[in-house]
Amino acid sequence: MNPEIPDLRRQVKKNCDISDARHAGVYSLCGLLLRVRDLYKWEHGIAPWREPQPAELMGWMEEREEYWEKIMGEEIQPLVFNGASFDPFDMAGLNRFLRPLGLIYGAGYGIGMKPTFFLAESDESRTVEGLRVDVAGRELARDIFMTPAMRRGEQIFARRSCMLFFLWDQILEARPSAREALDFALARHGPRLDEFRRDAVRLGDQLERIARLELETWVYHEIGEALDDGFDGRLFRELVSAYANSPVEIFVRVVKDVLADTHPGGLLGHIVQNRIESSLGFYVAFQRAISRTVFPQIREAFRRFRQIGDWGLIEAAREAGRKNMLRHLAVLTRVHSESSASGTDAARERILSEILQPLGIAKSGGGIGDSSPHARAAEPQLP
């Protein structure tokens, strides 16, 4: 191993810790606890489906909280490697030196504009639809924000460790409304939902295989986002920055996510074209409440699909969902433009009253409110 790698790992980890310390408040209490639990497992090499001893976990959490309080006032630092200093968000510059060593580095912003970083071993690299997809294997440093895939321009990272943790958390914490779709998806790979919940230790190898296979489909969300021209990138960044840490930010991210998924070259388009029943089930199971509200067509289509197996139903739902998202985006853009001169607070209140509340989306709540530790709406927008 290059002797500089351990020091780079330490630097990346310190930036991860500072980000966690300064931005943990963007998560709901439940979401934060799940993320911290997963971080503990990752740091201690514990498989996602194995639970740590409660006393050990609680002791570590207390130590981590004290550590966060100590470093909360520190700033994220440049990374020094190979005799040069790199901005912590300069992925391309750093990766020019890391790729020959079999490593990749990723950086961006998650929900609430939380900085997020990772350093990992590179398992493979390929080109899909003109985009470079790097698959991250063993991760050497990461923060509490995990997402299976993330994109910057023509660069996509697919993170196997995150996909495995994400999938297990969905199985373990499965909402009643998600269980039928989750069981449908898992059954296409073999074991059923109840089998995984009863005997995950024995079925761990199968869960890893499922996570790897489904990650191949998951990256098409990022591909759809790259191909989609319905949501201007500059407008998106303006909106999430202006309304960070509010229900409006969540709504903006969900609109962008569904537009990416419903693009003909995006996630649902790929699922329909390749008739991937398992990925269809997972897509429906992973929908958050707000996504179900703005994109209800897919759940009804899935219910009917299970009865008659007609992929035309899913394609029609994809098209209808996309048209609906474009309408939401047009209204959002208009209200933001008309209200921004009055200030961010006035614009936010108008968006809440004219768009979110009529949809039944709550006006406010504690934190951002992500009941899932890896909600789709929380995927990062890389700078």
In whole angstroms, what is the distance from residue 321 CA to residue 331 CA? 16
Which residues are CB-neighbours of 354 under 8 A, at least 6 positions away? 331, 335
Helices (H), 24-90: 29-43, 54-71
Provide the domain limits for residue 354. Answer: 165-378
Q: What's the pLDDT tens digit per position in 203-215?
A: 999 999 999 999 9
Q: Residue 290 in contact with residue 365, Cβ under 8 Å?
A: no
CA-closest candidate to residue 306, choices 188, 167, 173: 188
Q: What is the pLDDT of residue 341?
A: 80
Put residue 245 in one of left, alpha, beta given phi > 0 → left and psi -120 to 50 → alpha: left
Continuous H helices in 173-229 = 176-187, 193-198, 204-227
Residue 31 lies in a domain: no
Check if the beta carbon of residue 268 is closer than 8 Å to that of residue 261.
yes
Is 297 contained in some domain?
yes
137, part of any domain: no
pLDDT in tens, 247-262: 999 999 999 999 999 9
Q: Which residues pair with 134 in a beta bridge?
A: 125, 157
Pairing of β 155-159 and β 149-152 = antiparallel
Rama region for 115: left / alpha / beta (φ>0; ψ in -120 to 50; rest): beta
Whether residue 228 is contained in a domain is answered as yes
Q: Domain tally for the chain? A: 1
CB 305 within 8 A of CB 209: no
For residue 107, what is the DSSP state? E
Within-domain flag for 72: no
Q: What is the spatial order of strands in the sheet that 115-128 belongs to?
A: 103-109, 115-128, 131-142, 155-159, 149-152
Query: Is 110 inside a domain boundary?
Result: no
Question: Does residue 124 fall inside a structural domain?
Answer: no
- Alpha-carbon distances of 17 from 11, 68, 192, 272, rounded to whole Å: 10, 7, 37, 40
CB-based burial label for 5 (10 Å; 0-12, 13-18, 19+) = middle
Q: Is residue 197 part of a domain?
A: yes
pTM value is: 0.90
Per-residue pLDDT of the chain (383 residues; tens, 9 = 90+): 687 999 999 999 999 999 999 999 988 899 899 999 999 999 999 999 999 999 999 999 999 999 999 999 999 999 999 999 999 999 999 999 999 999 999 999 888 889 999 999 999 999 999 999 999 999 999 999 989 999 988 999 999 999 999 999 999 988 898 999 999 999 999 999 999 999 999 999 999 999 999 999 999 999 999 999 989 888 998 999 899 888 999 999 999 999 999 999 999 999 999 999 999 999 999 998 899 999 999 999 999 999 999 999 999 999 999 999 999 999 999 999 998 788 888 899 999 999 999 988 865 433 344 433 334 333 344 43
Distance CA 352, CA 102 (A): 47
Find, among 210, 187, 11, the residue nearest to 98 by Cα.
Answer: 11
- Name, in order, each residue with C-beta under 8 angstroms of 179's C-beta and a sequence gap of 6 or more: 193, 285
Q: Residue 158 belongs to what H/E stretch?
A: strand 155-159
